Structure 1
Amino acid sequence: MKKWQDDRIGSAISGNNPMVMAELPGGFAVYGDVQFLPGYSVLLPKKDVNSLNNLSMQDQTIFLQSMSFLGEAVLKGTNATRINYDILGNTDNFLHAHVFPRYATENTEYLSKPVWLYPSTYWSDKRFQYNPNRDDVIRKKITKALNEFL
């Protein structure tokens, strides 16, 4: 049986992606599967495309504007110092925008560098996997901020 993780965009469109916080004009704001930076979120598009360039210019603009809305909501819902935005597509062949809160309390070895330079084990370490008991306080704050934008 297919899991929602196997088709994140399709499951968001169909309402079966439990990580969706809100539907924005340009996509779905979802809470990240890993939370080594509490509040990490992702924007998924409303169309299953593999690149920003596969959207019309108008849809690109709406997607990027929604990404900034999500960044504002993450900033509002956390005590982050700043937000890092990242659209890569090198590993997962579907459009998605990473929204990373950055904190003054991060290890200085990582704070001045891209999130991707954290040890790769952070993405699979069970202690950083989404845990509703730990993570839903921030998730609810971000969702509330998103709903205020809407």
Structure 2
Amino acid sequence: MGNDSWRRDRIGSALKGQNPMVLTQMRSGFAVIGDTQFLPGYSLLLPNDHIGSLEELDFQKRGHYLLDASLLGEAVLTVCQARRVNYSIYGNTDAFLHTHIFPRYNSEPVERISRPVWDYPKDRWTDLTYAFDEKVHGQLKMAIKEEVERLMKIAY
């Protein structure tokens, strides 16, 4: 993927149009494809600004953010034909607001289905075998983008 400087400030690079993971801009932020794709379609919602937590947003912006997360989740669910979608907002490691959208599949190992994705082995998060690759995942990225944009037209 070449120059990875965008990784140091994912929100700032998205605002500048320099984050290659951006699917589309939403009302409250940016829908982005995940760095790892061991669960195909893994995506995130990044806010329009550097926000520490959900509670820092006023109620209207908070509602917009959570609606956008649900639209991204619905797009991932539809495109990936997943069993369900899990939503995660933590901010413990990366101390800024962002929402993880994880598709969950019936094809996952039975011992993983009832467990949080964070329980997957560390190599799923770090091994380049599972890393996003435009050649491998580009069609999936485009399909999620198109579905998010379709849903935004209905929701807004």
Could you state the TM-score of these two structures normalised by the residue count of structure 2? 0.92
Which consecutive unaligned segments of at least 5 residues does structure 1 have?
A: none
| Count of matched residue positions in the alignment of Structure 1 and Structure 2 | 150
- 1:31-65: CA deviation from partner (whole Å, max 9, x where unpaired): 00000000000000011111111111111111000
- Runs of 4+ off more than 4 Å: none
1:58-77 matches, within 5 Å, as 58-77=60-79
Match 1:140 to one of 139, 142, 149? 142
Deviation of the 1:15 alpha carbon: 1.0
Q: Distance in 1 between matches of 2:13 and 2:108?
A: 33
- Normalised by the length of structure 1, the TM-score is 0.96
CA distance in 2, matches of 1:120, 1:89: 19
Question: Residue in 1 aligned with 2:130?
Answer: 128
- Percent identity between matched residues is 45
SS in structure 2 at match of 1:113: coil
Distance 2:56 2:36 in 1: 28
Structure 2 unpaired stretches of 5+: none
Q: 2:12 — aligned with what?
A: 10
Q: Secondary structure at the match of 2:35?
A: coil
* Alignment RMSD: 1.3
2-structure distance, mates of 1:87, 1:107? 24
Show the counterpart of 1:97.
99
Q: CA deviation at 1:97?
A: 0.1
SS at match of 2:124: helix
